[in-house]
Amino acid sequence: MSVTIYDIARKAKVGIGTVSRVFNNHPSVSARTRNRVLAVARKLHYRPHPVARALAGQHSNSILAFVPFFPTHFFSEVLQGVQSRLSDLDWELILYGINHPDQLESSIQRHAVRSHMNGILLFSMRIREKYAKHLLSLKPTLVLVDAFHPLFDSITVNNRRGGYLATQHLIASGHRRVGFLNANPHSTPARERLKGYKDAMKEADLEIRPEWVRQSRSKELDGFTRETGTHLMKEFLTLGTKRPTAVFVASDIQAIGALRALEESGLRCPDDMALVGFDDIELSQYLNISTIRQPMFQMGALAVDIFHRRLVDRKSPPTHTQFVPELVVRKSSNGHSRTPLALAAGGKT
């Protein structure tokens, strides 16, 4: 059973109000009493719970991360980096899922401000201009991950460059009919990856046919889902012999769905259609998916480092870190063996 302030109060022979004031550094407590309470706390190996300290009006030593409600491999791997660095700092991570972007502002006010969290990580969600200045006036420090706003520290990946690298690799492999299977263009990464695709096609003086660019309209995770990949790949396959011979897919999870559609149609990857994804989630290496690697773990760890520095110097200008992704070539775009699709044809992940 964990030690409470009641245990400390009883051992130190003071009231619980005194114990609370000691932990909150209240000036009304004498040095002698403070030392006695702290000595008892050390002897009992007491560690104040972060949320409990927050409710007492102090910093919580906790970071609240707002993520889209449906988890993805991308968020999981970034959060591993966050948690790793927080463990080093002996801080806690509290997750809160957002069902819809319209809920973001009320959720920040309710869960971050009222509970006195001193840190907010905001994943892959945009901040309205009208709300940005209000956020600046709040006590919690805000760091954006996979999102950008000039007023706040941000960590992003050069999605346009990644889209270019993926498409250019397929072109360099000898393909001239290169398609793009995208997520919802409402998403900033999706729009930027499309620009990269177009950059590479124009540079190679290749035609960009409208039927070779398929974009999701799904609002669930902005279309970055396996189901979207399956559905859009099936649309490509209806083109028959006029379909692309290679496809850049906006995310690895969509690429897994696309591979499933190829498998169900009796086609082989890369023999019948080459493919490159985006993210380099763990599953990609097992399925031999060529991809654009994002440093997801490093992004999460850096977010905590930036937050920690911001606590020390709140007045310094915001920093904007943009990682340059790298191409990882595997069999889905560079080989003659059938890509192992057993996992791709399985259930949801």
Whether the ω angle into residue 270 lies within 30 degrees of 0, i.e. cis, is yes
Query: 137: which residues sit within 8 A by CB, 6+ positions away?
Result: none
- Topology of domain 5-48 in CATH is 434 Repressor (Amino-terminal Domain) (1.10.260)
Q: What pLDDT score does 81 carry?
A: 92
Render each residue's pLDDT in the chain as its tens digit; 349 residues. Answer: 567 777 888 889 887 668 767 776 667 788 888 888 888 888 888 765 554 444 444 455 678 888 876 557 788 889 899 988 887 776 778 888 776 666 777 777 776 655 566 688 888 888 888 888 877 777 678 899 998 999 999 999 999 999 999 999 999 999 999 999 999 998 889 999 999 999 999 999 999 999 999 999 887 777 889 999 999 999 999 999 999 999 999 999 999 999 999 999 999 999 999 999 999 998 999 999 999 999 999 999 999 999 888 877 878 899 999 999 999 999 999 854 334 443 343 333 3
What are the tokens at 70? 């449906």
Q: What pLDDT score does 340 carry?
A: 40
Q: Using DSSP, state whether 328 is helix, strand or coil.
A: strand
- In degrees and rounded to multiples of 5, residue 315 shows phi and psi of -95, -5
- In degrees and rounded to multiples of 5, residue 319 shows phi and psi of -105, 145
Q: What pLDDT score does 167 carry?
A: 98
CATH 1.10.260.40 domain locations along the chain: 5-48
Task: Report the distance separating Cα 166 and Cα 160, nearest Å.
Answer: 10
Q: What pLDDT score does 41 carry?
A: 85
CATH 3.40.50.2300 domain locations along the chain: 62-157+296-324, 159-294
Task: With CA atoms as reference, report the closest residue to 166 among 338, 13, 334, 335.
Answer: 334
Superfamily the domain 62-157+296-324 falls into:
Response regulator (3.40.50.2300)
- What pTM, to 2 d.p., does this model score? 0.75
Q: What pLDDT score does 48 carry?
A: 59
Task: Report the distance separating Cα 208 and Cα 198, nearest Å.
Answer: 7
Task: Report CA dihedral (21, 27, 33, 34) to the nearest 10 degrees.
Answer: 70
C-beta neighbour count of 105 within 10 angstroms: 15
Task: With CA atoms as reference, report the closest residue to 277 among 286, 97, 128.
Answer: 286
Which CATH number applies to 159-294? 3.40.50.2300
- In degrees and rounded to multiples of 5, residue 27 shows phi and psi of -70, -15
